[in-house]
């Protein structure tokens, strides 16, 4: 198992290099730093001096890959590619356009992001699986039919409408919780209730339907018939047999997103003004702060790879037949 994990971690390195190269090409080769400077400063005010100053401030004035002016290893380290791309492997992300350290900002904002993403994740997993089991328990009845109709209808509504509608109904009309904002500590709860509930509601349609399909596929197998023939109650069949055997496909889709919870949710955080990583990303996108977007891309891919490895480990926990070798 350990050897397998080491191999997986090693395998992650070329993927991260690929991500790194891809983002570098996207950010520096498709458009030269001059183009970006011109857009940031504004086409009308972009004098050559202003562009040069912009580049020096951000360290984009160095050569791309090889610095002929430098000596020794600095030939390769004193370049845009090394500074902006390779340093990310050491988790050094540099500074954002407003001069703040991106790494520090990320550490500060992870907390609020998690505070909203973790409860959302747990609650929606619980809610969708319960709802799916309910539908499966009453399969081929009117309840099942209308449940699926409800799921399809709910997944046809854009998440924007859930958020806008929820804010309007709960915060404005009923005035139960503040519309948006955040407070540290326990005080955060009253700001978090609504976004968490809305996110759970927005996701329940598609995931409950997906789990229902998985359960139905499982329930038509022979071992389920055997379990019923033994005289087990339908509930026992569902919870002790079907649910456990359906875990593998469920884990495949679920575990991989756990590390990504750190990244927060773009939409929810920006609508509810939660100072997490999601709203940080959105602000960076709107301000066209390329350094932040690049850092978030890198962190996102690292977390994704961690998620893949966790998925493999979770298989061994869920199914003793799976061994990692």
Q: Which residues bind other proteins (CB under 8 A)?
A: 14-16, 18-19, 22-23, 26-27, 30-31, 35-36, 38-39, 43, 152-153, 155-161, 164, 167-168, 172, 260, 263, 266-267, 270, 281-282, 285-286, 288, 290, 293-294, 296-297, 300-301, 304-305
Task: Work out how close the CB of 177 gets to other proteins at its nearest, in angstroms, rounded to a whole number.
Answer: 16
d(CA 292, CA 104): 12
C-beta closer to other proteins: residue 20 or 124: 20
d(CA 120, CA 90): 31
In the 8-state DSSP scheme, what is residue 118?
Answer: H
Task: Work out how close the CB of 67 gets to other proteins at its nearest, in angstroms, rounded to a whole number.
Answer: 24
C-beta closer to other proteins: residue 243 or 305: 305
CB 159 within 8 A of CB 267: yes
SS3 content of the chain, % helix, strand, coil (to 5): 75, 0, 25
What is the token pair recorded at 90? Answer: 């050491």
C-beta closer to other proteins: residue 145 or 239: 145
C-beta closer to other proteins: residue 188 or 293: 293
Overall residue count recorded for the chain in this entry: 325
Q: Which of 244, 256, 243 is nearest to 308 (CA)?
A: 256
Task: Work out how close the CB of 301 gets to other proteins at its nearest, in angstroms, rounded to a whole number.
Answer: 4
Task: Work out how close the CB of 286 gets to other proteins at its nearest, in angstroms, rounded to a whole number.
Answer: 5
Task: Work out how close the CB of 198 gets to other proteins at its nearest, in angstroms, rounded to a whole number.
Answer: 14
C-beta closer to other proteins: residue 232 or 285: 285
Task: Work out how close the CB of 160 gets to other proteins at its nearest, in angstroms, rounded to a whole number.
Answer: 5
In the 8-state DSSP scheme, what is residue 64?
Answer: S
What is the token pair recorded at 51? Answer: 């562009």
C-beta closer to other proteins: residue 227 or 263: 263
d(CA 67, CA 81): 10
């Amino acid at each position: 198992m350990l050897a397998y994990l080491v191999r997986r971690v090693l395998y992650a390195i070329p993927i991260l290099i690929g991500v790194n190269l891809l983002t570098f090409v996207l950010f520096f080769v498709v458009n030269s730093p001059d183009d970006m400077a011109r857009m940031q400063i504004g086409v009308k005010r972009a004098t050559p001096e202003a562009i040069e100053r912009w580049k020096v401030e951000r360290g984009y004035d160095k050569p791309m890959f090889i610095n002929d002016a430098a000596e020794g290893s600095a030939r390769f380290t004193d370049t845009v590619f090394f500074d902006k791309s390779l340093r990310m492997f050491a988790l050094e992300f540099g500074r954002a356009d407003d001069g703040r350290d991106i790494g520090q900002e990320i550490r500060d904002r992870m907390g609020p992001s998690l505070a909203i993403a973790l409860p959302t994740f747990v609650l929606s997993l619980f809610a969708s699986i319960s709802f799916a089991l309910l539908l499966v328990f009453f399969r081929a009845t009117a309840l099942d039919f209308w449940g699926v109709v409800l799921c399809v209808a709910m997944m046809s509504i854009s998440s924007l409408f859930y958020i806008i509608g929820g804010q309007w109904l709960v915060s404005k009309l009923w005035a139960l919780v503040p519309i948006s904002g955040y407070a540290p500590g326990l005080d955060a709860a009253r700001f978090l209730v609504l976004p968490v509930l809305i996110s759970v509601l927005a996701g329940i349609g598609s995931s409950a339907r997906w789990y229902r399909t998985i359960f139905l596929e499982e329930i038509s197998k022979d071992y389920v018939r055997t379990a019923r023939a033994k005289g087990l109650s339908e509930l026992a069949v569902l919870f002790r047999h079907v649910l456990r055997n359906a875990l593998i496909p469920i884990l495949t889709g679920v575990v991989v997103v756990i590390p990504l919870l750190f990244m927060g949710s773009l939409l929810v955080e920006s609508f509810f003004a939660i100072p997490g990583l999601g709203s940080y990303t959105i602000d960076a996108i709107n301000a066209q702060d390329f350094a932040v977007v690049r850092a978030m891309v890198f962190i996102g891919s690292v977390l994704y790879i961690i998620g893949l490895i966790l998925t493999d480990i979770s298989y061994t926990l869920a199914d003793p037949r799976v061994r990692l070798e």
